[in-house]
Amino acid sequence: MKIDKLNLDGKKDSIEVLDKIFSAKINQKLVSSVLYKTNANYKGRHAKTKQQNEITGSTAKIYAQKGTGNARHASRKAPIFVGGGVAHGPKGELAYKKRKLNKSEKKLSVASLISEKVKNNNLVILSDFKSEIKKTKEMFSIVKKLEITNSLVILDKPSKDFIEKSIRNIPNIKITDVNHFSSFDLVKFKKIVFTESSVKELEKRYI
């Protein structure tokens, strides 16, 4: 299929793109599953308390079962004692399973979300950047002219080197490359912006 391609002046041309990425079947069930797993794996479960079996110390009974007049107790490590274990406390990251995402799930969900952006006219393909843009003010005027505010900008390496410094301080824009974006990023931003070369790089993964 063909999609419009813009240069920095806003003039239109067209580019041939791979149907299985830009015109794929939109699988909402798969996308929801991938987003759920991705979000769950992002969570840092750092809170950790020691359970009774993790406390260091003697395991001896603290006093005789009978004859003292006190309540029956066994280990000083029990949760009711100061310095004992914590009952039902957070167990830290190692106690939780990472939800596995296989490669085909990731690729299909990315293709579904990109196709949805195409369908809703929220995908923009730009010509590669050929020279460095140093000033944020200059880059911001290009962003406004091309109407790509609130965008995930996926660049090829040369283009990224040319504009990274000038675009990174513009709010609601995330700059990345083909190797470092996920379905979560595609959902977070209203528009997705590719360069011609980054489209070709992405297509190599699906051939």
Q: Structural domain boundaries of the chain? A: 2-44+97-204, 49-89
pLDDT value, residue 68 = 94
Asked whether 166 and 136 are in contact (CB, 8 A), the reply is yes
pLDDT value, residue 63 = 94
**What pTM value is reported for the model?**
0.76
Residue 156 has pLDDT above 70, yes or no: yes
Q: What's the distance, CA 71 to chain centroid?
A: 53
Q: What's the distance, CA 115 to chain centroid?
A: 19
- Report the range of poorest mean pLDDT among 46-50, 99-103, 151-155, 173-177: 99-103
- CATH pick for 2-44+97-204 out of 3.40.50.300, 3.30.990.10, 3.40.1370.10, 3.40.50.2300: 3.40.1370.10
pLDDT value, residue 95 = 64
Residue 191 has pLDDT above 80, yes or no: yes
Proportion of the chain above pLDDT 70, given as a percent: 99
Residue 18: which pLDDT band, with cuts at 50, 70 and 90?
very high
pLDDT value, residue 44 = 73
Average pLDDT, the chain: 91
Residue 147 has pLDDT above 80, yes or no: yes
Residue 171: which pLDDT band, with cuts at 50, 70 and 90?
very high
Asked whether 154 and 84 are in contact (CB, 8 A), the reply is no
Residue range 38-94, pLDDT digits in tens: 887 777 778 899 999 999 998 899 999 999 999 999 999 999 999 999 999 988 877
Asked whether 172 and 144 are in contact (CB, 8 A), the reply is no
Rg (CA), the chain: 27
Residue 26 has pLDDT above 80, yes or no: yes
